[in-house]
Structure 1
């Protein structure tokens, strides 16, 4: 006791800075102690939740598997199936239990295919879970809207596409991406109709994802890309050019050639790449006539195109640009000249070397 009194007396007689330091140390000690206690409580709470969630998941999984294999031969609901539906309907009223039911349905949905997978999709609607997903689309929080659209995609709900389309120009790109994937997953090329009214930009990553989904769908009925090539949205045009390359849309030749005069350099460069892939020779003469007026990126794209479609008559044009200021363009010109006339190439190479020294 005397020691404590002694310490307090010394503290009172010490400078204000030391007193402040001791006070702050005491406050921090109390805060840290409280945080440690809260973290222990939180950890225990999460562990309890995990145990409860695992218990419900096992229970619901058993119910769902029983449901899938307890049907009548005439595809009508058996008494056992109806009993399971009634029990699960009472469970999904609780948001916590509803979340577990949905996750369990998705787990089974991803593990099976065919008619049984379709039974899960029907059960999703039969349980009334569709109304909860649609309610998420009316939420003010963008992440909830995105989750709602994803659920509709996962359970292949086609009948609500007009409601989903309301988010086509949502300010959050995450919501727009989910909306786009919903349409492509469920409607394949027909789902691309959203490009007609898209005002926001399609990012490079979005375009890659959409192309991957389309290729997985392996749909032989290809959409007419020509209206999208005339879009005022440059990202839609660039995506359409990628479609032209992947699906060899030679019938869009006239629209592609028109895009060589687009205001966007990015569009023009991608157009040249598409024309090259489709081997549209008519574009070569157009690009040769105004080669000098085009940007370096366009010139490089055109010369890469010429590597596949060169003719001996192109030699004069290439010789004009052998001394080009851009080194990459020089190399491309030299490579094409080598392919056109290998015997004369040493002379061209000598001239090229002199230009480098100069």
Structure 2
């Protein structure tokens, strides 16, 4: 009794801070217990959902495989296929089941090609799934829009490019990327027409992806790249310069030469690289005459170009820059001079050694 009284008196005499600490500790402990119970319940819920999803996926996959092998050449859809379509249509009303059906279709679409792949594309439309993908394009959430465009790409749904183009300058990068992939996947070079009105930057990774798709497409009819070289969007110009190199667009020579005076240093450097690849010799004199006014990177890129297109007449220019303050430029000049066959070659050997030991 005395001990309990002593504890009570001690607690009453405790600092308010200590009392508050005890209260907060109790509250935090309660929160932790509730969170543990919530996480446990959530995990159980996800585990149950995963089992249900696996069950439906197995069922739908079996159904779709049967569909693929039930077709015949006489009819667009055989009676057996129409029966399967009817059954699946009842399931797609449920968003949960619809999501599983679409993911199963995509799984099969990625595993097969040819006529069977086209059969899946037709099934996607026949079941009425197209309207759900199109509805996603009108959603306010950017991730839903991106998923909708991706579905249209994966099932090769053509004829909706005008709707897709509404997202050309969408504020979210992921949506713009899906739009670009849709157009190039399905329309190849013709799909690049979005470059005419693109205002947002085209990232380096996006450019690489688009180029890879174009190369896989094997479309020999490349679009006219000249308008894109005049774009006010620097990233579009840089991407077009890659196209010029990859597809040897010598016809764009005049537009390329004009880009040597572009406001962007990156564009000018990429232009010199493209001119070098295309072996456009007219650019050499322009660059020689403006060499001192150009940036260090431009000068280096130009000298790398000269390694492949040098002539004896370039000797005075090279001698002028033989003692350049930049090591890389000096080395490039020396190498070019050495490769030009004339009697002073020993002198350049000596100068090169001085440059290396300096």
| 1:158-215 Cα shifts (integer Å, max 9, x gaps) | 1111100111111111111110000000011111111111111111111111001111
Q: Per-residue deviation at 1:222?
A: 1.5
Which residue is 1:329 aligned to?
329
The answer to whether the 8 A contact 2:330-2:355 is kept is: no
Name 2:254's counterpart in structure 1: 254
Deviation at 1:285, TM superposition (A): 1.3
1:344 maps to 2:344: yes
Deviation (angstroms), 1:72: 3.2
State which drifts further: 203-212 or 214-223: 214-223
Q: Distance in 1 between matches of 2:300 and 2:75?
A: 63
| Structure 2 CA distance for partners of 1:337 and 1:39, relative to 1, 3 Å | same
> Residue 164 of structure 1 aligns with which residue?
164
Instruction: State the alpha-carbon separation in 2 of the partners of residues 313 and 342 from structure 1.
Output: 12
Alpha-carbon distance, 1:344 to partner: 2.9
Paired with 1:102 and 1:2, the residues of 2 have a C-alpha distance of 74
Map of 2:236 onto structure 1: 236
Q: Is the 8 A contact 1:85 1:127 kept in 2?
A: yes
Q: Deviations over 1:123-171 (max 9, x none)?
A: 1001111111111100111111111100000000011111001111111
Normalising by the residue count of structure 2, what TM-score does the alignment of the two structures yield?
Answer: 0.95
Q: 1:83 to 1:322 in 2, by over 3 A?
A: same
Which structure 1 segments of 5+ residues have no match? none
- TM-score, structure 1 as length reference: 0.95
> Could you report, residue by residue, the CA deviation over 1:48-76 in whole angstroms, capped at 9, with x for unpaired residues?
00001001101111111111111233133
Deviates most, 11-20 or 84-93: 11-20
SS at match of 2:166: helix
RMSD value over aligned CA atoms? 2.0
Q: Distance in 2 between matches of 1:84 and 1:5?
A: 80
Aligned mates of 2:206, 2:234 — CA distance in 1 = 14
1:137-156 counterparts in 2 under 5 A? 137-156=137-156
Greater Cα shift, 231-240 or 115-124: 231-240
- Residue 17 of structure 1 deviates from its aligned partner by 2.3
Contact 1:169 1:176 in 2 (8 A): yes
